A = this chain, B = another copy of it.
Amino acid sequence: MSGSQERPLRADAARNRARLLDAATEVFTTRGVDVPTEEIARAAGVGVGTLFRHFPTKEALLAAVMVRRLEAIAADTAELAAGADPAGAFFDCFRLVVDRSAGKNEFTQALAAAGVDVHASLQESTTAIRDRLAGLLAGAQRAGAVRADLGLPELLALLVGTGTTMEQLRDDRAARERIYEVVFDGLRPH
């Protein structure tokens, strides 16, 4: 979806587009998905007209923000996965995905509610992460660090759920750490 039509954006247009994405990320994350588009435009220092020229609907903006975050996560997991120890890489990536996904859940929900086919518009970027996680899971299982009966769907669900758990404990780092202990302990073969 990203590389189909290429006409180099005018300098100011490119700058505004970037500002909009930054502002949207910030506003959506801190104040939720229901903020009026006008607020995002204001935060970016542009008019609503500009916002809607760059992103034809609010959902398109939301999707663009999502894609960006997902790509960032994918890139970071790539680094971690390069390490030698498969078990460590798996658990480190688990943490990374959970930590970086704060609020992402609400986004997906909002997108889905708007009738956007989430799996279509985000597929490219989710697939990257999914594949990486599948590889990490397999590696960790081969190394005997994770119970063998766990599939990728369960892992993905667990990542989302753990994200929610962590959001409840936003301001208690020690408690969050205990949750990781519980989950990781549960993931290991008994």
Contact = CB atoms under 8 A, between A and B. Distances in A.
Interface of A: 32, 34, 105-106, 109, 113, 147, 149-151, 153-154, 156-158, 160-166, 168-169, 172, 175, 178-179, 181-187, 190
B178 A150 contact: yes
A169 B153 contact: yes
8 contacts: A150-B182, A158-B165, A161-B161, A161-B179, A162-B165, A185-B185, A185-B186, A185-B190
B158 A175 contact: no
Contact of A175 (B32, B157, B179): B157
Contacts of A151: 175
A172 B151 CA distance: 12
Contacts of A166: 157, 161
Q: How many copies of this kind of chain does the complex include?
A: 2
A156 B178 CA distance: 13
Contacts of A178: 149-150, 154
Contacts of A150: 178, 182
B156 A168 contact: yes
A151 B178 CA distance: 10
B172 A158 contact: no
A150 B178 CA distance: 7
A186 B178 CA distance: 10
Given A154-B182, A158-B165, 18 more contacts: A32-B113, A150-B178, A150-B182, A151-B175, A153-B175, A154-B169, A154-B175, A154-B178, A157-B165, A157-B166, A157-B175, A158-B182, A161-B164, A161-B165, A161-B166, A164-B165, A184-B186, A186-B187
